[in-house]
Structure 1
């Protein structure tokens, strides 16, 4: 089967319209219609049906469109590899990053890795729960994520490189802003709470957070919404304290002391697959990342946290 037919079908299904697909493919509608007819002759059944809103795939059309999506992605990746080759790069490494770590270190990290002229670095931000699976499946080469994850670590290597501990932060409109007194659990339970990183290894047990009261809103993935709310509302949240203060978007006056034990550790580790360390180039990049994280550990203040 001509893979180009599946690629075209995928674009039609994505656009939901033959005319819009023609614009993306730079072909005329009769040309695209002939391609769809050829595919339907091969299948022996319709792959698209017309509706009042455009076109939709049949069951077999949807399955073939999924294959076409993968062909599209592989084609684009192949073109990028060729561009990298002509630009003199040796290889590409995909590195998963915790959202708060990315936000806090983006300038330093960009400047550091731009100095390495032999490789392309693809940084992928997302929750640790999702990215650890990508690492195990070989879709990531390395991962910067919480060190204390409840995952099977048999095939994974973990090096704890950046120390941190969770702390409670209040919004700038909170009555507790700038307070130097310890706040009781009973008082905390009456406040408006949000949860950050609900699937990223930062979600504490309810008893550690605000007693038995559930947080009314949670954010997973991006940290920007959480930081915005800390600047514009009276809401409270638990965050990795050192990283949060590193961003510059949260002030030390917004971190409060609460009754009870210290917040749980929220260290960041460099995760990798143990067998990938057999490749010399992976060893080089592992050391490159490790040196960067060690430099951050040594240069970033601890903000008087008990680390």
Structure 2
């Protein structure tokens, strides 16, 4: 089977229109129609059905289009590898990053990684739960994410390198702003809460602070919205305290003390697959990231947190 036909089918299905697919492929509609007809003859059944708004895939057409999508992706990746080779890069490494970590360390991290000229770095930002799954499947080489996750870690290596602790932050319009003594659970239960890191695999939940009252908003893989609400409303949220204050977007007085013990650990770890640690180039990049995280931990203020 000609893989080009499968790529063409994938583009037709994605565009939902033969004419739009022709524009993307730079071919005429009769040429594309003949390719689809040849594929249908091989299959012995239609791969596309027409409707008033364009075309859509049949069941077999959708399955073949998925294969075409993978061929397209592999082709594009192959072209990028060639470009990297001609540009003098040795290899590409895909690094997953926690959203708050990216926002809090953007200046230091970009400057540090730009010093390394041998490799291409592909950064992916997302929730810890989604990223750890990608790491386990081999779609990430490294992950910078919370160290304490309720996930299976059998094939993973975890090195805790940046210390942090969970803290409670209040919006600038909250009556609790600047409180000089610990706030009781009774008072906290009456506040307007949001949840950051929903479905992120954290071991602890804010329920011990907000009681039976549901949080009015939850965010997964987002930090800008959370910081915006802390600056414009009276809402409360639990966040990694050190990284939150590192952003420079939140005032120190917005972190309040809570009756009882300190918040749970929110350390950041360098995650990787154990099997990959035997590869020389992989080990070099692992050491490169390790040094960055350790240096950052030693030089960034602790904001009087008990770390």
- Classify the TM-score, shorter chain: over 0.9
What SS class does the counterpart of residue 287 from structure 2 fall into?
A: helix
The Cα shift of 1:212 comes to: 2.7
* Corresponding residue of 2:14: 14
The 5 A counterparts of 1:194-213 are: 194-202=194-202, 204-213=204-213
* Corresponding residue of 1:183: 183
Partners of 2:152 and 2:71 lie apart in 1 by 33
User: Against the structure 1 CA distance between its residues 203 and 275, is the aligned structure 2 distance closer, same or farther, given a 3 Å change threshold?
Assistant: closer
**TM-score, with length taken from structure 2:** 0.97
What SS class does the counterpart of residue 69 from structure 1 fall into?
A: helix
Q: Deviations over 1:25-79 (max 9, x none)?
A: 1112112111111111111111111112211100000101111111111111111
The Cα shift of 1:206 comes to: 4.4
Partners of 1:99 and 1:199 lie apart in 2 by 14
Is the contact made by 2:171 and 2:231 (CA closer than 8 Å) also made in structure 1? yes
Partners of 1:32 and 1:233 lie apart in 2 by 55
**TM-score, with length taken from structure 1:** 0.97
Partners of 1:205 and 1:141 lie apart in 2 by 29
Equivalent residues, number:
307
Which stretch shows the higher mean deviation, 127-136 or 289-298? 127-136
* Corresponding residue of 1:300: 300
For structure 2, which runs of at least 5 residues remain unmatched after alignment?
none
Partners of 1:13 and 1:232 lie apart in 2 by 44
RMSD of aligned alpha carbons: 1.2
* Corresponding residue of 2:100: 100
Partners of 2:172 and 2:27 lie apart in 1 by 55
Partners of 2:195 and 2:164 lie apart in 1 by 18
* Corresponding residue of 2:253: 253
Residue 90 (str. 1) matches residue 96 (str. 2): no
Residue 221 (str. 1) matches residue 217 (str. 2): no
The 5 A counterparts of 1:1-307 are: 1-202=1-202, 204-307=204-307
The Cα shift of 1:101 comes to: 0.4
